[in-house]
Amino acid sequence: MEIGTRYGAITMPADLGERVQQQLAQADRAGPVVHHPRARRWTFITGPARPESLTKSVAAALFRLYATVACPGAQVVLPSADDERTGYRTWVHSPDSSDTIPPLESVIEALLQH
């Protein structure tokens, strides 16, 4: 999946991702999340990044939390059937037609509260 005008993504440690996912679910803002078990990281699929939302202070806070925002033009690899079977890459929350894609800013806000 290409990051750009339609989609964004943010990756963080799995333990932090669990807490962020719970908070987003409580606010009815949960969207698709990919788990990378070997790296122990979660990638949240979001709406696109708006340049004004990634200030220096926000970037510094994300850096301290080991969270990274995917740059426009980057590729996020989604779990395939083989990935799911082998556990290489799995869905924490798979996308379906009723899902909304949360704005990147909502995920960052939830992340910074932890």
pLDDT in tens, 37-61: 999 999 999 999 887 888 999 999 9
Q: Are 12 and 42 in contact (CB under 8 A)?
A: yes
pTM of the model: 0.93
Q: Give the closest residue to 93 by CA, choosing from 7, 1, 39, 18.
A: 18
Q: How far apart are CA 68 and CA 52, in angstroms?
A: 16
For 21-42, how does the pLDDT look when each residue is reduced to its tens digit (9 = 90+)? 999 999 989 899 999 999 999 9
Sequence-separated contacts (24+) of 94-97 with Cβ below 8 Å: 94/32, 95/31, 95/32, 95/45
